[in-house]
Amino acid sequence: MSNRLEIGQKTELLNEAFHYIDRYSQKVVVIKYGWSAMDDKEAQRSVLDDVVTLKKLGLRPVLVHGGGKEISEWSKKIGLTPTFKQGYRVTDEATMEVVEMVLNRVNKGLVNSIHELGGRAVGISGKDAGLLKVKKKYVAKENDPNGVGFDIGYVGEIVAVDSKIITDLLDKDYIPVICSVGFDENHHSFNINADDAACAVAMAMKSEKLAFLSDVPGIYKDPNDSSSLISELDCDKIDDILEHGQTIGGMITKLNNCKEVIKSGVERIHIMDANVPHSLLLEIFTDSGVGTMIRRS
């Protein structure tokens, strides 16, 4: 009897999942994989395993990642003091060198792990095939919001995405793994915020989905009440949230980006906790999901 019941639950879950597989067949899913979630080897393995599964099920995953803690560690090793201005790493010439070295090594590490899990990935940066072109970014000074802003060095704001290399790699059945380094009109290297890179790639590819995998479970009605996680959110309700609810720093920027991304044609954005095993599969292939899904209204 309990067995009969279990069969009913199984078929319900399978039918749910199969529905989404059919729906997302051949669709591009851009996955931002954030750094603090990258330290836990087991969590990382679960995330990359899901990425390989997405590929096998006929979706077209694209992984975008940053570096984070490791950059600071290497900076210190060679005697540099990591400095931040409004969340952005102040990036002088020497720091930029470290950023690029660390990010590319992390990149090849992810590629290698995907290979180990049965996938075939190619790791590129925004400099390959002219993928991410930037201009220098200035950070607004609070007391002079209309001025030029602080010079934070080689930190870039994306001005053009040439996504041909991504399409080409997908066509040849690889999983593109992209680290957030770009180049400016003088072909100098620039550090890019990984969230910005993921959004820009999703918009350029007009991807079906953009998924943020970090150490945040999603958006809360009340950031202080862990039971107030929002499961689904219409895009045009974001302003409400910004006014009344969610006020944690990084999330404000992320929510504002989400509005723009969805406006440009991306169908759904997911925010989820990379530490929940297989959160990516659960979020994409079950009705209930595990994080917050923002959808076009």
8 part of the interface to its own copies, by CB under 8 A:
yes
Token pair for residue 62? 């694209």
By CB under 8 A, the count of residues binding its own copies is 58
The distance of closest approach from Cβ of residue 162 to its own copies in the complex, given in angstroms and rounded to an integer, is: 9
The distance of closest approach from Cβ of residue 232 to its own copies in the complex, given in angstroms and rounded to an integer, is: 18
**In the beta sheet, which residues pair with residue 177?**
63, 123
13 part of the interface to its own copies, by CB under 8 A:
yes
Phi-psi region of 86 (alpha: psi -120 to 50; beta: other; left: phi over 0): left
When binding is defined by CB under 8 A, the residue of 72, 95, 180, 189 that contacts its own copies is: 189
Q: Could you tell me which stretch among 30-38, 100-108, 136-144, 243-251 binds its own copies (CB under 8 A)? A: 100-108
45 part of the interface to its own copies, by CB under 8 A:
no
**In the beta sheet, which residues pair with residue 272?**
213
The distance of closest approach from Cβ of residue 148 to its own copies in the complex, given in angstroms and rounded to an integer, is: 27
From first CA to last CA, the distance across the chain in angstroms is: 43
When binding is defined by CB under 8 A, the residue of 35, 40, 57, 253 that contacts its own copies is: 57
When binding is defined by CB under 8 A, the residue of 39, 92, 93, 116 that contacts its own copies is: 116
Please say whether the beta carbons of 245 and 220 come within 8 A: yes
Q: Could you tell me which stretch among 34-42, 106-114, 147-155, 209-217 binds its own copies (CB under 8 A)? A: 106-114
Scan residues 131-160 and list those touching its own copies (CB under 8 A). none
When binding is defined by CB under 8 A, the residue of 33, 154, 183, 220 that contacts its own copies is: 183
Scan residues 260-289 and list those touching its own copies (CB under 8 A). 276-278, 281-282, 285-286
Please say whether the beta carbons of 231 and 293 come within 8 A: yes
Binding site for its own copies (CB under 8 A): 7-8, 10-11, 13-15, 17-18, 21-22, 25, 53, 56-58, 77-78, 97, 100-102, 104-105, 107-108, 111-113, 115-116, 120-125, 127-130, 165, 168, 171-172, 174, 181, 183, 187, 189, 276-278, 281-282, 285-286, 290
